[in-house]
Amino acid sequence: MGIDPGFATIGFALLKKDPIEIEFVSVLRTDKKREWGERILKISNEFSELLSKIDGKDLEVAIEKQFFNQNVTNSLLIAEAKGVLILEAAKKGKKVYEYTPLQIKQNLIGYGRATKYQIKNEIKRMFNLDTFISPDDASDAVAVALCHIFHSKVANLVL
C-alpha cells in the first residue's frame, strides 16, 4: 500500500506485486471547517477501517517521507496526520517504509528531479491507462507504492 500523507486529502493506493497491478486507488478527505481533533480522528478511524478490510500477512505500507517546506504550519499538520497513519498501521502489525520524494522519482523515472507530470505520465504508461489517475494525491500514492515495490525487488537482489 502506498500513502501520500496530508491533512486535507490523503491518497491511498493498493498494488499487487507479481505481476504489478493496481487493486484500488482512493483518497480520504477531511473537512477544513472541522476542528483539527475531529479531522485527525476521522483519519485514524477511516484508515483503521481500510486496513481491516484489506488486512493480509503480506501487506506492506509505504508512505512518503515528509520534508519541511516554507509553510511550517502545513508541514506540522501533515506530520501529525502521518503519525496517526503510522500508528494505525503499527496497531495492525504492519511495518511502515518511508521514501523521500527524491527516492520515489528516482525509482520511477530514474531522475530525482522529475516533474509531477512525468510521474503521472509514467504511471499512465505503465498501467496502460487512458487518463491520468486523479486527484494528484491518489496518483502520488501509486508512485509511493511503485517505489516500494521497485526498491524491495532491488533489495532482494542485493541480499
Lowest mean pLDDT among 29-43, 96-110, 125-139, 140-154: 140-154
| Residue 56 pLDDT level (bands cut at 50, 70, 90) | confident
Average pLDDT score over residue span 143-153: 92
In the chain, how many domains are there? 1
Residue 104, pLDDT above cutoff 70 = yes
Q: Is 80 a catalytic residue?
A: no
pLDDT confidence of residue 74: 86
Contact predicate 66/103, CB 8 Å: no
pLDDT confidence of residue 68: 66
From the candidates 31, 60, 64, 80, give the one annotated as an active-site residue: 64
| Residue 156 pLDDT level (bands cut at 50, 70, 90) | low
Question: Dihedral of CA 43/44/50/51: which sign?
Answer: positive
- In the block, cell 491533512 appears at 7
Residue 159, pLDDT above cutoff 50 = no
Q: Is 130 a catalytic residue?
A: no
Locate the DSSP E strands across 30-67: 61-64
Torsion of CA 79, 80, 81, 85, to 10 degrees: 90
Q: Is 4 a catalytic residue?
A: yes
Residue 14, pLDDT above cutoff 70 = yes
Quote the percentage of the chain above a pLDDT of 90: 82
Average pLDDT score over residue span 51-70: 84
Domain range spanning residue 62?
2-158
- Say how many CA atoms lie within 13 Å of 80 toward its Cβ: 13
Residue 22, pLDDT above cutoff 80 = yes
Of 148, 39, 52, 31, residue with least CA distance to 84: 39
Contact predicate 100/63, CB 8 Å: no
What CATH number is given to the structural domain containing 153? 3.30.420.10
| Residue 158 pLDDT level (bands cut at 50, 70, 90) | very low
CB atoms within 10 A of CB 89: 21
